[in-house]
């Protein structure tokens, strides 16, 4: 089986949920069609932006199922697996593989602090549970585990651990990782990094929530970077970064959901106790989207 090669712009999908907890399946499917039609290179349900941390297993499963069906094999689907417990993470990964996803975004949640050995074992177990390519996801701010460069280097030896998505905001860390793992791990930027910088350093793309709102512009930026048009790319990157600056001020899921509502996708509110954006923040987003012609 020719394995999917992941690269390019992979939006982190939001999870549209009603106030009583039902997945808004039509809205999610419509978003999938829109993003794929806009040229994105893959789809990532159940990242941070997808509010995995607020969803029950049943909800998570349905989100992935709807995305896989709506996508219908057009682009790779990489589903987020996230748990504190190894047993549970392994179970999730297997169920998503059975659903037909093309890759696993492996997220480790932490309650009691875990040593490097425990962290490594968690990711090895998830990778061992599936035959799919695995993306390591580190997000020290929200997940309280951190993958040290040493642990990453060790995990890079597992054949199907093939990608890393780092949400640390420390771009130099990516270069340190590249210097250690060489080509064994391919690096995706998160929205905490400037994607263009990561591309300059040798990254293969980005997985990020904002790409839900500016898919075409993101793909254009990616293409510019790939063809070495750095000066032009910088100009576009600076414009698009205005979107990130707003998202950094507010709750991320609330922002993406508010922006999608403005674009005509009735995705609803972030899950309580997260609060929806107020009118002022919505107006900020409206203006920012207009500025980059995403509205």
> Max Cα separation, the chain?
51
* Interface of this chain with its own copies, residues 96 to 125, rule: CB under 8 A: 108-109, 111-115, 117-119, 121-122, 125
CA-CA distance, 19 to 22, in Å (whole number)? 8
- Give the alpha-carbon dihedral of 29, 32, 34, 40, to 10 degrees: -170
What is the token pair recorded at 190? 């998160």
Residue 53 contacts its own copies per CB under 8 A:
yes
Q: Does 140 bind its own copies (CB under 8 A)?
A: no
Q: Which residues are part of the catalytic machinery?
A: 137, 165
Q: Which of 79, 194, 214, 258 binds its own copies (CB under 8 A)?
A: 194
Question: Which CB, 29 or 110, lies closer to its own copies?
Answer: 110
Q: Which residues pair with 208 in a beta bridge?
A: 11
Q: Does 29 bind its own copies (CB under 8 A)?
A: no
Q: Among 243, 233, 258, 170, which Cα is nearest to 210's?
A: 243
List the one residue out of 66, 112, 51 whose CA is nearest residue 272: 51
179 in contact with its own copies (CB under 8 A):
yes
Structure tokens at 186: 């391919």
Q: Minimum CB separation from its own copies for residue 33, in Å? A: 27
Residues in contact with its own copies by CB under 8 A are 20-21, 48, 51, 53-57, 84-88, 108-109, 111-115, 117-119, 121-122, 125, 142, 144, 169-173, 175-176, 178-179, 192-194, 196-197, 200-202, 228, 230-231, 234, 237-238, 241-242, 244-245, 248, 251-253, 271-275
């Amino acid at each position: 089986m020719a394995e999917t090669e992941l690269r390019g712009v992979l939006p982190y999908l939001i999870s549209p949920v009603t106030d009583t907890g039902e997945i808004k399946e039509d809205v999610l499917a419509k978003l999938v069609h829109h993003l794929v039609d806009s040229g994105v290179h893959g789809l990532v349900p159940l990242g941070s932006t997808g509010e995995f941390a607020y969803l029950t297993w049943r909800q998570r499963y349905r989100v992935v199922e709807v995305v896989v069906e709506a996508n219908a094999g057009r682009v790779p689907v990489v589903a987020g697996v996230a748990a504190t417990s190894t047993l549970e993470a392994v179970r999730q990964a297997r169920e998503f593989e059975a659903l037909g996803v093309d890759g696993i975004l492996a997220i480790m949640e932490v309650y009691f602090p875990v040593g490097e050995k425990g962290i490594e074992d968690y990711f090895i177990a998830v990778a061992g549970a599936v035959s799919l390519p695995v993306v390591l996801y580190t997000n020290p701010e929200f997940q309280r585990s951190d993958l040290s460069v040493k642990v990453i280097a060790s995990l890079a030896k597992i054949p199907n651990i093939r990608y890393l998505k780092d949400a640390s905001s420390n771009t130099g860390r990516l270069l340190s990782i590249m210097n250690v793992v060489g080509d064994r791990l391919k690096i995706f930027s998160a929205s905490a990094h400037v994607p263009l910088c990561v591309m300059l350093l040798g990254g293969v793309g980005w997985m990020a929530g904002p790409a839900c709102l500016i898919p075409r512009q993101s793909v254009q930026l990616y293409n510019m970077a790939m063809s070495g048009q750095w000066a032009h790319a910088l100009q576009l990157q600076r414009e698009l970064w205005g979107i990130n600056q707003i998202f950094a001020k507010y709750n991320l899921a609330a922002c993406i959901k508010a922006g999608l509502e403005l674009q005509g996708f009735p995705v609803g509110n972030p899950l309580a106790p997260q609060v929806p954006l107020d009118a002022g923040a919505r107006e900020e987003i409206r203006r920012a989207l207009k500025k980059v012609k995403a509205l």
